[in-house]
């Protein structure tokens, strides 16, 4: 939408630096999230042709949001931008930089609740069966699948796993989640056996001094990339004949759904997933109800 270098005056730069510092310290947000906030505020500055952020009116912000709709930005992206601007101007009010909040009457677009795509256990098994174990990387790929589905990891958590964070005797692994927040995640016996097999028959043959503590490695002995994991999961889904839209996050959704459907405590699932808010985890209870509804409609003669 807005391309090229954006001129940021000294006053705006100071406000942005202070805002990012607050987000980093108080909310422990990741660098990627901070960059997203910065990018969204840059869009507003570009739209107002470099105007001081403290002098932008509600009318100008409304016109900016309308422009986002006019260029067909998705509702989800617009909602994120509005949310970021609300946080920024709330920060200015709290810090005494502004008396009136120009975002006060700006509404965040309401988004339809979209239940995440999930895979059944048999579909997961078919994806694992599609792995070519005759190739040297086969056991690594199987380990990736089992860790993501068996522990509900995000891609960044998988690629960042360290060997010294594996506590197999206790049945846990230590995971670095969003905002550099650590948590302990249970790991089952089958996954433990697979990781041990991978360590013995793949990893020790490719490791280097630089990667000696990184768990998942590519064939050059370097940390595996997130892009590689995305491509792997999509390829295995295609080979297994699964027509759903599948990504690494689908495995995380499937992990949570299995636990909820089996009656697991919502707070326990929240802790395992590393969700900051219980409301994020509650989507899986909705998913469970949606699943039950389809079962009723399919098999109940009077439904």
**Which of the residues are catalytic?**
154, 178, 249, 252, 275, 284
Q: For 105-135, b where at least 16 C-beta lie within 10 A, e where not — what string?
A: ebeebeeeeeeeebbeeebbebbbebbeeee
Classify the C-alpha dihedral 81-86-91-93 as positive or negative. Answer: positive
Instruction: Residue 235: name the closest of 122, 85, 131 by CA.
Output: 131
Instruction: Assess contact for 171 and 186: CB atoms under 8 A.
Output: yes
Instruction: Residue 216: name the closest of 289, 139, 272 by CA.
Output: 139
The number of residues making up the chain comes to: 303
Outline where DSSP puts E strands in the chain: 166-167, 172-176, 182-186
Q: Hunting for tokens 């990741």 — which residue is that?
A: 30
Backbone angles phi, psi at 173, to 5 degrees: -125, 145
Contacts of 89 (CB under 8 A, 6+ apart): 98, 101, 102, 103
Instruction: Assess contact for 287 and 115: CB atoms under 8 A.
Output: yes
Contacts of 107 (CB under 8 A, 6+ apart): 82
| Residue 162 DSSP label | B
């Amino acid at each position: 939408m807005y391309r090229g270098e954006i001129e940021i005056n000294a006053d705006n730069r100071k406000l942005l630096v202070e805002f990012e510092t607050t987000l980093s310290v108080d909310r422990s947000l990741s660098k990627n999230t901070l960059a997203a906030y910065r990018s969204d505020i840059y869009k507003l500055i570009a739209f107002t042709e470099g105007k001081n952020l403290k002098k932008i009116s509600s009318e100008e912000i409304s016109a900016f949001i309308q422009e986002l709709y006019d260029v067909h930005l998705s509702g989800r992206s617009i909602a994120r931008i509005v949310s970021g601007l609300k946080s920024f101007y709330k920060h200015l009010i709290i810090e005494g930089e502004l008396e009136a909040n120009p975002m006060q009457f700006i509404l965040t677009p309401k988004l339809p609740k979209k239940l995440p795509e999930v895979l059944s256990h048999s579909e997961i098994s078919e994806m694992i069966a599609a792995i070519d174990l005759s190739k040297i990387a086969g056991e690594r790929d199987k380990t990736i699948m089992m860790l993501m589905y068996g522990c509900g990891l995000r891609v960044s958590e998988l690629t960042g796993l360290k060997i010294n964070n594996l506590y197999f005797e206790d049945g846990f692994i230590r995971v670095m989640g969003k905002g550099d927040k650590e948590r302990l995640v249970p790991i089952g016996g089958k996954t433990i056996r697979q990781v041990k097999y991978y360590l013995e028959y793949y990893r020790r043959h490719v490791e280097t001094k630089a990667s000696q503590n990184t768990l998942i490695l590519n064939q050059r002995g370097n940390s595996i990339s997130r892009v590689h994991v995305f491509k792997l999961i999509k390829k295995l889904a295609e080979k297994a004949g699964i027509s759903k839209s599948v990504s690494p996050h689908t495995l995380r959704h499937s992990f949570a759904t299995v636990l909820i459907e089996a009656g697991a405590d919502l707070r326990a699932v929240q802790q395992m997933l590393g969700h900051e808010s219980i409301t994020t985890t509650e989507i899986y209870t909705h998913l469970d109800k949606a699943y039950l509804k389809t079962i009723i409609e399919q098999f109940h003669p009077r439904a």
